[in-house]
Structure 1
Amino acid sequence: MRAAPLAVTALAATLLLTGCSGDGDSSGGGSAVASPSNGTTCRIAHMDVEVGPANVAPAAGDTGNIPVTLTNQSADCTLDGFPGIDLNAADSSASVPPAEGAKATKVTLAKGTAATFTLTYTRGEAGAKASLDVKTLAIGLPGADTQKSFKWSYGPVQGKSDNADDPNASVGAFTQAGD
């Protein structure tokens, strides 16, 4: 009698195929819906960006902190790495490195959720050769090739070793905002 083994095999195959349908399956098996785990990179064009309010450095040599909040206005995406920050003066610009010892984090943002990071800088002396007279702050996201620019109103930025093109500034890692 071969009917019983064939019936058991057919039943097992039917159960396996039914388990792969993805309809209402919360495990994600067989689902074609895009998810944050697919590595979709966040784009600055799809973000509402708020710069500040800042803890401004009041005088040359003082340190200031500028929080930046990014709120996703599009589909789920991922921030993986550090923000790309450029400080632009009238005739030059300088990139801001990650803070010493900072570790990049991977943050996934659903539509309407936010992440933050902090830009820390040392205020320079106005008109000094070692200070970068910053006019705009350009923000880019990791893995993307576009930036958004914002007016800089926090005074000149001191250069390291009296080199204005090497600003005494750093950027922190992304952190999830809110709950």
Structure 2
Amino acid sequence: MSDSSPSTDQQDFPLIIFTVGTAASGKSSWAEAMRARHPSLRICILERDMIRVELFEAEADKPFSWTDWNQAWENKVQWLWEQRVQELAKQCHALILADTHLDTGELRKKATWLRELGAREFTLQYFPALPLTDLLRRDQGRSHPVGGEALREHLKKIGAEEQYWAAIEGV
């Protein structure tokens, strides 16, 4: 292939970077900092929460709110996420999937699906659990805070970094 632009060809599929961490742990900020730090690379960032916000605001015709979020829309979020991954894979050198990825089974499924599309290079950025008080403070400063209950659930779910590496390497 003479064109140097990324494509979904198996050899040219972008590096996939999974973030793993609770809400308010710094995943999105880290992703944006990586893009800013490496302006010569085409680093794309995809966040399921941004898809949720777009979908909610289009469907509900009002500003996004977690308390008003309709769980029935999660299937559409998944479909939109898959479409965007495929679109961005054609444009990027690296694709940061900036979500919590706390469930190793779901992470494994995503890595398997991406491999089926042709992805071969995976890495992850792990964000260790922070004290709940720090997460609450950070969460309050976000445009769409998830709240203390969700943060406590995330802290219960987060595992050791090695578990997440095994999930993406073991497919």
Give the TM-score normalised by structure 2: 0.29
Looking at secondary structure, tell me which structure has more helix per residue: 2
Higher relative CO (Cα under 8 Å, sequence separation at least 6) belongs to 2
Larger radius of gyration: 1
Give the TM-score normalised by structure 1: 0.28
Looking at secondary structure, tell me which structure has more strand per residue: 1
